[in-house]
Structure 1
Amino acid sequence: MTIPNQHIVLPLFREKRVELYVKREDTIHPLISGNKYRKLKYNLHEAKAQGQHTLLTFGGAYSNHIAATAYAGHKHGFRTIGVIRGEELETQWQDNPTLRLAHEHGMQFHFVSRSDYRHKNEPAFLETLREQFGNVYLVPEGGTNELAVKGCTEILTEADAKFDFVCSAVGTGGTLAGLINTSQPHQTVLGFPALKGDFLTEEIRTFAQNNRWRLVTDYHFGGYAKVDQQLIVFINRFKKETGIPLDPIYTGKMLFGIFDLIKKDFFPSGSQILAIHTGGLQGIPGMNAILKKKKLPLLDI
């Protein structure tokens, strides 16, 4: 699989004497795109090797991971179960584009309260799920485990060795860990968390094999799934100028952060920067429904 690195040519970069490329992982597949393809790849192999027939995983109402797992399971002959955060969604999921898409590809939903969902990694909670659904192959929230990190080590290629900085949005940390583990000694890996706080550092360290990385925690826009008019305007302008659509939860925030850091001379003159497009475009219709209710501008599709 050859994923193109698209060169972004804009006046800001000429002024600051840096170069920016976007690795178009979003072009892998409309639904199993970007890091979701990478994370599921070896988990699907392992599930088949174990003789499993059912994938059980976790996610919120607009989860890219839920949509990707449903489609991947459908394509590869697995039954899929999604443990969904928010029991109120049990009577509302038909109005949610992501959950409707997952259901169309055969996913069975199990809705739980937000308080119960916090226990999703605890053995007692997982045992209750196995008692209810039988012998299942568990895929963690966001897909992050050792096999997911292994898949994400395949994002960077030998041709990417020319870059000084590798940037990625961060959700659960698996993608960043994969990038860290295959980065070159001269490269710095920058992670842009979509969630508030620095709590992901320890999680990433459990998988990362070197210290050539850091988290940039200033561009979460208030927290997970939160956006404002400034971000929407940036995403729409970026698409108009480059032809590249960005999701508002992850990649849009990362690119906004990269542009801001370039303006602030964070990157030394002559730097070559690679930004990983981790997909997530399926969530745009759902976000537009929220933006419409808030009377904010919509994202261009």
Structure 2
Amino acid sequence: MFTALLIEQLLNGLQLGVMLFLMAAGLTLIFGVMGLINLAHGSLYMIGAFACATVAAATGSFWIGLIASLAAAAGVGAIIEVAVIRRLYDRDHLDQVLATFALILILSEGARWLFGSFPLYLDIPPLLQGAVPLPGGGQYQLYRLAIIGVGIAVAIGLYLLISRTRLGMRIRAGESDREMIGALGVDIGTLYTVVFALGAALAGLAGALVGALQSVQVGMGEPVLILAFVVIVIGGIGSIKGALVGAVIVGVVDTMGRFLLPSLLALTMPASQATTIGAALASMLIYVVMALILAFRPSGLFSAQS
């Protein structure tokens, strides 16, 4: 039974890591190409979740809601880039932080006005309901396995997009020398809008997928945004490969820490204290890992070209 529970928690950590990758990939792509610190990325995650829940409730189809989440997040992202972000590229990072923090407040209150203060709930589609057997006698939720599969597929798709397409070539050139590709005739404004919308769509996809596992509510993106920043710092700012590796590290360390630390501490102290202290230590663990990695590799595990 312990083996099945251990495998289940490892899969939970991988599922959390995949969700963080969807968030962090867009965030690191935006920073790598535009040099922009976007604190409003978590709000795009929230928008994707609300769009999916609302459209799924109206149509009775989770899949239509999933498409709506991509379209809504990408559309809002494109509008934000054109209306607000475009004016921040040449500004100091402090100005970017203040402006995108203001966007968090605006989008949160806008969501509260549109959808109310009460949480929405998104049902798992019938195709992905049920569980699959695990070694040792346990079972694992099929929908969570599907999230892992989606994350792997997105990672492969992003790799092919960045390394094998003309758009990817322009994105990589924009990371290296944006002035040069502008001089060669590439429309920098359009490229930035496309990159920002792509990053927003990935965040919206993450929000929609997680919306079926938890309630959809205002402010749900901010805690995830903090973890996404930890991921890109660990993996290397601007690196998609680093975002994937960093996300898996954070997801597994966080999940296994919450699973194992209380049990280990219970060997030396009362169970109630072990649970409280173990939970507190587990919440710190990913930041300890980040500090250790940065102590030996200050720029993260991978370079921006990875």
State the TM-score, normalized to the length of structure 1: 0.30
Identify the structure with bigger relative contact order (alpha carbons < 8 Å, sequence gap 6+): 2
Larger Rg, first or second structure (1 or 2): 2
Larger proportion of helix? 2
Greater share of residues in strand: 1
